Structure 1
């Protein structure tokens, strides 16, 4: 039963996108075509850029000791957002913008739980001298 709802949702998504395009076109007119064209170009550029960047990002995360899955998930979210921008419609564009604007999208940069909270602390030993020697 649950699988049927998921299939229905995926099949109704293009219909909802078409209804949204027609509704927005009736409100703002021909600017819809410009929006859809610019969104598609932005999606293609985003996919091309991520195609080039994912390897060095993964290598950097491995060299810095971070978990490599964080950079892979970040690349996956960016590729998914680019694909949604290429798909014509406003619902997919909003979902793509949410994916792009979520924290940690660009490099999986999250605080390392093993790193101390204050990096300015210098560890060492000290010895207090009597006050009369300092005069």
Structure 2
């Protein structure tokens, strides 16, 4: 039963996008076509840029001690947003913007218990050897 709802949703998505395009064309006129064209170009550029950057992001996450899955999920989120931007329609544009603007929850590191909470404070002892340097 659940599989049927998923198939129905996936099949109705392009129809809902087409209805949204026609509705927006009626509201704002001929500006819909340049919007969709620029949107598709932005989606393709985002996919191309992420295709190059995912390896560096993965390497940096491993070197910095973060979990590598965090970098993979971030890259996947950006690739999915690029695909949604390349797909014509306003519903997919809104979903892509949500994916791009949502803060990443996978790359947050837990605080190290051995590291002090405030890095500006240096704790230690000192002893003044001579007052001759002050005169």
Task: Give the TM bin, normalised by the shorter chain.
Answer: 0.7 to 0.9
Q: Which residue of 2 aligns with 1:75?
A: 75
Q: Which residue of 1 aligns with 2:53?
A: 53
CA distance in 2, matches of 1:2, 1:126: 70
CA distance in 1, matches of 2:54, 2:116: 28
Number of matched pairs: 125
Q: Secondary structure at the match of 1:69?
A: helix
Alignment of structure 1 residues 71-110 onto 2, 5 Å: 71-104=71-104, 109-110=107-108
TM-score (norm 2): 0.85
TM-score (norm 1): 0.85
CA distance in 2, matches of 1:110, 1:29: 44
Gaps of 5+ in 1: 128-135
RMSD value, Cα? 1.8
Q: Which residue of 2 aligns with 1:24?
A: 24
- Structure 1 residues 20 and 116: alpha-carbon distance in aligned structure 2, compared to 1, 3 A threshold: farther
CA distance in 2, matches of 1:82, 1:99: 10
